Amino acid sequence: MLRLDGTLERIQRWDARWSERSNRWLHVRALLHLFRAVSWLGNGIFWYALMLAMLLREPRAGALPVLHMAFVGVLCTAAYKMVKTSTSRPRPYQSLRNVEAGAAPLDAYSFPSGHTLHAVAFTLVALLHWPWLAPVLVPFTLLTAASRVALGLHYPSDVLAGACLGAGIAAASLALA
């Protein structure tokens, strides 16, 4: 048990250190605006717009991939809510005195990052169907993950957990497809 306690303490120190360092990026006004915009788009707006654009671009061929993305979105939301309410982890700006909230949170708890979970899952599913979107989707997903830490809304481990959960859900959906 002592070994696990030591590992958890190291993760918490790492989380705190990177949360504080990343949050300093908000002192650069352009980065604050960039991260707020990416986070706002990552609330779902970007993904819904992508699904609509693909349906308009490819009315017949796009229907099944868009349904696949919507199905994955429902699974991600269910998993996210179940994990988030069972862990009840406070957000970095609530726990660390050197971290400020750069944007308003959508809910009370930090673990896992729902923005990152959805971004990774949607990106993986979309790239299966439209690999040519990689130059747009991969950077957007990375910026989404970075924005959550920089804005003081998530610890890096929240983002990593969200990414892993999103990748797992996407992989499971691909196995079923």
Enumerate the domain spans of the chain. 2-176
Mean pLDDT score of the chain? 93
CATH number of the structural domain 2-176: 1.10.606.20
The residues of the chain scoring below 70 in pLDDT are 1-5, 177
Is pTM beyond 0.85 here? yes
Question: Given this model, what pLDDT does residue 164 score?
Answer: 97
25 DSSP 8-state letter: G
Dihedral sign from CA coordinates of 137, 143, 145, 151: negative
The pLDDT value given to residue 2: 59
Residues 27-58: tens digit of each pLDDT: 999 999 999 999 999 999 999 999 999 999 99
Task: With beta carbons less than 8 A apart as the criterion, state whether 26 and 102 touch.
Answer: yes
- What pLDDT, on a 0 to 100 scale, did the predictor assign at position 140? 98
Looking at residue 6, what is its pLDDT? 74
Residue 64: count other Cβ atoms within 10 Å of its Cβ.
11
